[in-house]
Chains A and B, each alone.
Chain A
Amino acid sequence: MYQKLALAIAFSPRMEALIAEARKLISIFEGELVLIHVGTKTPELEAQLAEVLSRHCGDLHRIKTIWKEGKPAKTILKTCAEEGVDLLVLGALKKEGLLTYYLGSVARKVIRKATCSVLTLIDPKITTTHFSKVVINGTELEITPRVIARGLKFCQAEQSSQVHILNEIKLYGFQMATAGEGTETEVANTRRKLVQDEIQYVQDILDKLDQTGLKINIKVTAGKWAVELVRYSESIEADLLIMGDEQGLSFIDRLFPHDLEGILEELPCNLLIVK
């Protein structure tokens, strides 16, 4: 599914864990690995990287390290485009003394502008992470059918045990208040219809897809989808959240934070953004 995987490295204490995680993904997808470092190439750093690589990627032939200088976000994006990368792996930052993770400004910029999918790992481990509980954003957006299709493929490759697809009823309170002008039966019917419509939307997408080996649960919520996704992922202690990207972010979107921004501010778990 992902043939060319890139990993942005910064020689932080977590570099080795990130490389181990990337190596695991390569073995699942049978692809090749591109390491990108934005900064000066020195013999010490080269030696350090070679040592880590020999531990985790000794058997890997299709591997390439790119050293480039320049603005981090821009350089990473440019390199990904040049190399034809289809999945970029990044590490999230951890808030000092707290168990919460967030994305730095470079990572956010990369996620917004990348043309390839981006996987953000909040807590990479040398022993690698298994994404067993996965939440997929099933809210009605143009990109959603693609997100669900890619998400299921990823889960099949990863052999995830539970897949939850979340869809929300838009303006539920308002719609119910509007429906409140009807009789009790009418109100109950409206309530049922609102829920069923959302399940049907996801089901229609699922019907066209191969679901072999997956246990899929469709969950309907009410409220803002980004908030509900975070809440649900936290409540079931999900390992991975898969969602699409909101295209065409403009100046106005910066002024009025987008749904995606809310999630990037405080990551509930590992995050895969499908492009």
Chain B
Amino acid sequence: MESLAHQDVINLLLKLATMLLLARIFAEVAQKLKQPAVVGEILAGIILGPTVLGMVGPEFFEFLFKSSPSANLALDGIVQMAVILLLFIAGLEVELHLVWSQGKSAVSISILGLVVPFIFGFLAPYYFPEFFGITEDKKLLFSLFMGTAMSITALPVVARILMDMNLFKTKMGMVIVAGAMVNDLIGWLIFSVILSFMGKAGNFSLVNTFGITLLFTVFMLTLGKGLLNKVLPWTNKKLAWPGGVLSLSMAFCFLAAAFTEWLGIHAIFGAFLFGVALGDSDHLSEKAKEIIHQFINNIFAPLFFVSIGLKINFFTNFDLGLVLIILVISFAGKIIGSGYGALRSGYSPKDALAVGFGMNARGAMEIILGLIALENGLIDEKLFVALVVMALVTSMSAAPLMKWALKKKPGEAD
């Protein structure tokens, strides 16, 4: 096996330490300001990357992030793993049984909260391709991507807001959580289809890739889940706890990821589906879930979010017009869609608006989606920056906007 040279090892370790340290500092600051940690972690990356450090201290930036190609490659491997693990826990969070128990209102809020922003996101580039700087041949795929990017909701950000506002357990809170779960699930399914259309270096023709993806999805959610239900009780009883369930779930997560990467759609899709199947199993204890979440959220997630800022110059790629348009489409689509869904389910206009604001938070998932599209050449750096800004703005504004919508006028009864 190849190994890193002495100098490369030092460089890699310095990179990791700097990234984690700065991520932690900014996450703490963000939380003090009542903002999601992910906002701080992304800012940490922008500061460490070409945008700020590259300008202020170019020598230090060169030394840390440019001097060792091997260490950069190693870091890329770690970041890849981080994305896969992030999608794995995103899948773990999807609890289908909770969605069904919330009944029609959750389904209506999530479907409308998905379809309306999707249509908004799709139509804008489809009819104004010049504005987004895309060519005619890419128009359809690009529009589909924009539709998907607009319709995703970030469950962890939403959950945190709901818990802080003491709304998590209320009917409205549960409906928002369930709605976000459905959005995530359908959003990633659509994205996997887009990925297969992009014809990345896969092993199959388009139709076959599509068919196998569909089969794999159905398999994971039915037989795969059943299999897990049979294996997990044995794992819990006979193997070390939580060692057994942790290493085995990681191993199978990577296996599923390798399979979908081999198929030609992205590795993250396999990890996500395995997460859904595992999370829905009756035998994965809540304690094990908590442990998996903690170590991914606090070690791998910050590395990934910081790495975003390292890749791109947010200053030179900042296009105010584009950012504003993306913000308008994202806010309008989500708030109208989810809000109308809530209104239809019998919520008061104020509560419906609050549901819309809550579902508007995009957070991490948006950024992962954008990054993959960027890596596949579907979008350019300017649009990626606009999507990151949109993810940050929607995440940061969700809590204050919800509070504003739910604020009672003096004298109004509960």
Query: Which residues of A does B touch, CB under 8 Å?
Result: 140-141, 169-182, 190, 197, 222-224, 227, 246, 248, 252-253, 256, 258-259, 262
Contacts and interface: CB of A to CB of B under 8 A. Distances in A.
B98 A181 contact: no
A39 to B, nearest CB: 36
A130 B297 CA distance: 50
A174 B159 contact: yes
A243 B324 CA distance: 52
Given A224-B97, A256-B96, 14 more contacts: A140-B169, A169-B286, A170-B174, A171-B98, A171-B177, A175-B163, A175-B168, A177-B289, A179-B163, A180-B294, A181-B31, A181-B37, A181-B160, A248-B103
Contacts of A259: 97, 101
A158 B99 CA distance: 37
Contacts of A227: 282
A262 B282 contact: yes
A177 B297 contact: yes
B133 to A, nearest CB: 38
Contacts of B100: 252-253, 256, 258
Nearest to B99: A256
Chain B interface bracket (under 10, 10 to 19, 20 to 34, 35 or more): 20 to 34
Interface string B80-123: 00000000000001011110110100000000000000000000
Interface in B278-305: 282, 285-290, 293-294, 297-298
B282 A174 contact: no
A140 B95 CA distance: 17
Contacts of A178: 156, 159-160, 163
B288 A173 contact: yes
Contact of A174 (B101, B169, B288, B293): B293
Given A178-B156, A180-B294, A181-B160, A173 B96 contact: no
Given A197-B169, A224-B282, A248-B103, A173 B98 contact: no
Contacts of B101: 141, 246, 259
A38 B144 CA distance: 57
B95 A176 contact: no
Nearest to B287: A173
B286 to A, nearest CB: 4
Nearest to B36: A181
16 contacts: A170-B174, A171-B93, A171-B98, A171-B177, A173-B287, A173-B293, A175-B159, A176-B293, A177-B290, A177-B294, A178-B163, A180-B293, A181-B160, A258-B97, A258-B100, A259-B101
Nearest to B89: A177
Contacts of A182: 31
The listed residue with most B CB atoms (<10 A of its CB), out of A141, A171, A178, A223, is A178
A36 B146 CA distance: 61
A204 to B, nearest CB: 14
Contacts of B282: 223-224, 227, 262
Contacts of A173: 285-290, 293
Nearest to B159: A178
Contacts of B156: 178
Contacts of B177: 171
A137 B168 CA distance: 21
Contacts of A140: 169
Please name the 5 residue pairs, one residue from A and one from B, whose CB atoms are nearest each other, closest first: A173-B289, A177-B293, A222-B286, A173-B286, A172-B286
Interface in B117-160: 156, 159-160
A246 B93 CA distance: 23
B297 to A, nearest CB: 6
A197 B167 CA distance: 13
The listed residue with most B CB atoms (<10 A of its CB), out of A169, A173, A179, A227, is A173
Interface in B168-183: 168-169, 174, 177
Nearest to B297: A177
Nearest to A198: B169
A18 B294 CA distance: 52
Contacts of B285: 173, 222-223
A245 to B, nearest CB: 13
The listed residue with most A CB atoms (<10 A of its CB), out of B96, B174, B293, is B293
B297 A174 contact: no
Interface string B297-333: 1100000000000000000000000000000000000
Contacts of B168: 175
B96 A170 contact: no
B162 to A, nearest CB: 9
Nearest to A176: B290
Given A180-B298, A248-B103, A171 B290 contact: no
A253 B100 CA distance: 7
A42 B286 CA distance: 56
